[in-house]
Structures are given as C-alpha cells and as structure tokens.
A and B are shown apart, each in its own frame.
Chain A
Amino acid sequence: MQLYRGHVLVCGGTGCVSSGSKKIQEVMANELTKQNLDKEIKLVETGCHGFCEMGPIVIVYPEGTFYCQVQVDDIAEIVSEHLLKGRIVQRLLFKAPVTEEQVPSYKDIAFYKKQHRVVLRNCGHIDPEHIQEYIAREGYEGLAKVLTTMTPQQVVDEMKKSGLRGRGGGGFPTGLKWEFASKSPGPKKYIICNADEGDPGAFMDRSVLEGDPHSLLEGMLIGAYAIGADEGYIYVRAEYPLAIKRLKVAIAQAEELGLLGDNIMGTEFSCQLHIKEGAGAFVCGEETALMASIEGSRGMPNPRPPFPAVKGLWEKPSNINNVETYANVPVIFLNGADQFATLGTEKSKGTKVFALTGKLRNTGLAEVPMGIALREIIFEIGGGIMDDKKFKAVQIGGPSGGCIPEQHLDTPVDYDSLIALGAMMGSGGLVVMDETSCMVDVARFFLNFTQKESCGKCTPCREGTKRMLEILQKICDGKGVPEDITTLETLGAVIKNTALCGLGQTAPNPVLATLRYFRHEYEAHINDKKCPAGVCSALLEYKIVADNCKGCGACARVCPAGAITGEKKEPHEIDTSKCIKCGSCIEKCKFNAIVKG
C-alpha cells in the first residue's frame, strides 16, 4: 500500500464533467508526473459536491482547500505553488457572494456550512469507483449489523422507529411500506429502486448514484433482507450514463467482495441486483408504470390497489423506494433509529436534499434538516436573489408541486406543511423566481411539461391537462375571458380527483397554486390585457421614451423587423404593428429609453 502526503480530489460529477473536469484531471496527472510529485500526491476522481455552478471543483487535502472554476491553465500553478511549496493559490478560492471575501476551506463556505449532510455524506469525499473508500467511511457496516444481529422483523421495526418517509415525493412512511411487503406471503419478492428522476431541474438522485452508489446498494440490501427479497432492480434513466456506469462498477465490486450475490458476508442471505435502463418517460417514475416498464411492457400506470407490496413486479410482492430513501437506510442502521430521529420535525424525520435552481446566487444541491425555513434555504444557503432583484415565489416539488410566495417563506419545510400550502415536497426541486417571472407563464411551463409527458391512458389527464394548457395559452396570448379562471379551477379539481396516477393527480397543482397566491396576475392578463412581469409578449408593447432617446440609431440598426425609424439625433419611434417584441432594442439601448409594458 502506498501512502501519499496529499490528495487532490477532482470532481467527476456530470456538472463538473460538462465544465471540463476530465481535461483538468488529465492535465493534473501530467503535471504531477512532470514535477515529480506523482509518488507523493494522489489524484482522486470523486462524485458531485453539489456546487456545480462553481465547477470544475478541485479540493486539496490535507488542508481541505476548495478551488473552484479551475481552468486547464491554472493547473501548473496549483501544482508548483500549492502542491510543491504549500502556498494556496488565492485567486482560485471561492469568493463569498456578498462580502467578496475569499474562503479557503471547504467547511467554511456558507453554502455548505448551513447544510447537514446525511444522504450526501460521502458525495465529493470519496472515489465512487473504489469500494474501499466507501468501506473506510463505515460503508456496509449497517448491513453487517443487520445480517448478523437482527431479524427481518426487527429491521422493519427499526425503520418504523426512525420515522423515515419516502423521499420520492409522496412521503409515505418507509417502515410501514416495508412491513406490508414483508407480510405479503410468497417465496419470491422483489426490491426495486426508483432512480427515474424526471423533474425538470432535479438532480439529487443522480448525485448519489454518481457520487456514492454503494450507499444505495447497501440500503437496498437492508430492505431486501427486511422484506425477504432475493432479487432487485434499479430503474435508472438512460440519460444518466455516468450514473449507470458507476452503478455497474459498484455492483461488480460489491459482488467481488461477497457483499452482494449469494451468501452475503457468509450468511444465509442472498440477493442479486440488476440495472434496468429506462427510456426517460416521466410517467415511468410512477411506481406501477415503472414496474410495467421493467417487465418489458409499455410504461403506463395501473390502478392501485393492488399495491406493489401485494402484487408488484411480475405479480410478486415488491417494495419500491427512491434513491434518496435507500441512501438514508445505512445511516439509520449504523447509528440507530433514535439518533436518526433527532434530526427533523415531529412528523418528518431526517434531512432532505434540495436542488436549488432559478434566480439564486448559489445554485446546487443543499441537504438540510427537515423543518428548516424556506427563507434560510433561499437566502442563506442560496445566497439570495441574483442581481439584487426582488423575490417573488419558489416552486417546490417540480411540475407536481406548487409555488410558495414571500409571506409563507418562514414555514418550516416538512411534508405536511407544504401540502397545507398547496405545494408538495416532491423529489425536492426548488425553482426560485424573482419579480421578472410571470406566474401565468410559469404555470403554463410546468403544465406543458406534464401534458407532454401524460401517457394518455386515462381521460382526465390526457384531455383535461390539454384543455387547461389551451386556456393558459389563451390567457398568455391576451385572449382570456373572466370565466377562464373558474374553468381552470373546476378542471383542476376534477383532474386531481379522477386521474389514474400521481402524474395526473398532481398535474394541476402549479396552476391551482398560482391561482391561489397570484390570482391578480391572471386577472391582469385577462381584464387589463397586461402582463405585470413583462414576460408574455402578446401583452407587451415596446415604446421609446422621447425624453431619454438621443437618436443614436443603435436600436434601429439592431431591429430585425425594421420597426424603428427616426432622424439622427432626434427621438426615434417604434411601429408597433411591425414590432415582433424580441427585446433586441432594449438590450442595445444605452440610455434606458425603451420600455415595455
């Protein structure tokens, strides 16, 4: 075994790979060899750190120095200055967004400081393609404890005691789910992982799969033991090639060590795990559709009951949880349910990973204890709204969720409080919107997504969402009538009550939530034919303020429709009948002389 005095961790998550981390790794390896440091410094590829916006991320241990947005040209300097001479390369450190202070250490960055990482405990800290690194951090010890000291019933009881609820969105108590499956009679049962993360902007499951695949395998094995399954499937979307690759490596390594397969750790317990690549239909994240897809049928949901715990995959009792849920399991059995339950609120235990996106200063993955206020997530971890604009709303739960306005930002985040606000935890996407977002347009965006992803099996979802979308389109085009609002509400309620599966039942949520909190915006579109945020182009008119216009002609030159005319050094004018409202003139004007409204 070779010991090194330093470790250079280069992020190999999808985010950082897309910003060039593979090249960084290659150049770093060459530079280390060139400067004779390759025997002293170890280069490690890790999974995602969750701060993808600042990628490619490079961390140097033992100091724990956090370098961000590292470019190929910076590598020689990092090697000769930091790795050889021990001088930190100041200019590559993270700069705090408000104070502009440089933060040298990983653990002092505000984005991470407020977080409490349980599910993401290993992401970014270990090499996901080396099972030894997982084992070094207590990996597979929870499973060992379960297999050597506990009966399946005790495992179920411990899960119930932990209070863990499904992280895929519904929030159903995991222990109870396991109990149903364990009580279902039959020699053949399946354990299934839903890794078909489909919400736009959500990538917490991908991070776990890429950064810590063994925690998922360990969680599934504990679940399999509890319910009496000897075979399992991980249903992961084909759009996650890196996650699939790392899962395959992880499965092979676990099998080699006897941690997966027959007679695991020398016990009677055996379990095989397979990967099933999904073709990326959103509806396949619904459990019955997912199982249909594994069986080779078209991915369409089936009515429940019977629930999967009774009649699941190939009509055998099955348990299905999502990635984040399983990734919590090893921790529960390593430290005990009581320890786990110290985090969170009375009815929502543990932590939740959120994918922060939208108009925030810091975007990325944030894992926080349940019960934290949304305000803290958005303004402290997220660093507040970009460009000092005003916060308007946050969409939580993706296309199945709803938006939450400013006045409810102090609500503690847990399953039940979010439902009460007309949103839902969902898988944990948080899209933050500022004053320049039109809420009617936002509702239309999300409904457009679910409408396109509707599988078409049941009428309420297939026809209902289509009609709702048509009405929203009409409102955005300035052709809305006052009755449209009531029609939207009625349709929404009917779809919620009658659609076959979760996709349809939650599809109207974005519309209903925006109607609840931003009805005035709908009314402005319909009654005044105005879009208050200035987004819906049909309702906008571009005008030149004569007093500000210097007659420079820049706008006229850039206008693709030739709609702007005027004499040199005289105020110009826009011919609204020709204007296509592309906004090019506003971007070009240096004197703020063009307004829309």
Chain B
Amino acid sequence: MVIKSFEDLKRLKEEAKALTGIRAGQGVEIIVGMGTCGIAAGAREVMSAILEELNKRELSDVRVTQTGCIGMCEKEVLVDVVRPGEKRITYGNVQPQDVSRIFSSHVINGQIVEDIVVAKLD
C-alpha cells in the first residue's frame, strides 16, 4: 500500500498499534493459572482458546499473562479477569468452551459471568 494522505497514515497506525499494543501495558488483563495443577487441568487448552478469541475479535490491547498455583488446585483451571479500575474476578473450573462468553460478556462489556465466579478481589 502507498500512503497518500494523513488519513492513510493514521489508518496504518491503528493497524500497526495492534502489533505492539501489549508492550504499552494498558487495557484488560487476563491471568491464567499455569501451575502444574493448572496445566494438568487443561490450562494450555484454555490458553489456546483465549488466544483464539483474542485473534478472532482483534483485541490488541488485552494482556494475557500467567501465574503459578495459588492453592485452589481443585478449582483449576483458574482464570482471572482484571478490567482497569475494577475488581479482580477469578473464574474457576474454566473449560475452553467457557472462554467465549467470558470475552463477550466480561472482557468486552464488563458483565461478570456469575455462574463460574469463585472469587472477587479488590
């Protein structure tokens, strides 16, 4: 493509920002429990589902990080969602098929998926 105007440049910038967005460190954070227990319970599959969802929805400013075991091993896979300025919500027994609704209601619209919540932290 050839940039023919300021608008072209701005458009390209928005596209390009998606490539480097996670280095800026803002936006929603999703934390997946990746201790041995988490991995045994299928955290890798959940992680893959999360990344698939991210790509499908083109959410470039969502940060996906991992954490270790927090001692609630029977509730693994644990996934935390932290929207800036809101409570940290922990979901338990997350299956890959739950990921889509966590995204559509919580990550994007701020509506907590109550039936799989195990904790709400300030």
Contacts and interface: CB of A to CB of B under 8 A. Distances in A.
A257 B67 contact: no
B58 A3 contact: yes
B84 to A, nearest CB: 14
A87 B20 CA distance: 23
Contacts of B58: 1, 3
Interface stretch (B2-10, B71-79, B94-102, B111-119): B2-10
A136 B22 contact: no
Interface string B40-52: 0000000110110
Contact of A136 (B2, B20, B32, B64): B20
B1 interface: yes
Given A135-B12, A136-B13, A4 B3 contact: no
B110 interface: no
8 nearest A-B pairs in the assembled complex, by CB-CB distance? A86-B66, A266-B4, A5-B64, A136-B16, A132-B16, A258-B2, A62-B63, A85-B34
A477 interface: no
Contacts of B2: 256-258
Given A63-B65, A85-B35, A86-B68, A132 B15 contact: yes
Nearest to A255: B2
Main secondary structure of the interface of A (DSSP, over half): loop
B85 interface: no
Contacts of B13: 135-136, 138-139, 141
A132 B1 CA distance: 12
A6 interface: yes
Given A136-B13, A257-B1, A7 B34 contact: no
A265 B6 contact: yes
A265 B66 CA distance: 43
Contact of B55 (A2, A86, A257, A259): A2
Interface residues of A, number: 39
A489 interface: no
A158 interface: no
Contacts of A61: 22-23, 25
A5 B17 contact: no
Interface in A2-21: 2-7, 9
B83 to A, nearest CB: 15
A189 interface: no
A217 to B, nearest CB: 14
A135 B12 CA distance: 8
Contact of B6 (A1, A132, A148): A148
A126 B16 CA distance: 12
Interface string A10-54: 000000000000000000000000000001100000000000000
Contacts of B18: 1, 3
A235 interface: no
B54 A5 contact: yes
B19 interface: yes
Nearest to A144: B6
A358 interface: no
Chain A CB within 10 Å, residue with most, of B2, B15, B31: B2
Given A62-B25, A135-B13, A3 B5 contact: no
Given A5-B51, A265-B5, A265-B6, A133 B22 contact: no
Interface string A311-352: 000000000000000000000000000000000000000000
A211 to B, nearest CB: 15
A137 interface: yes
A257 B23 CA distance: 24
B19 A133 contact: yes
Contacts of A39: 51
B81 to A, nearest CB: 14
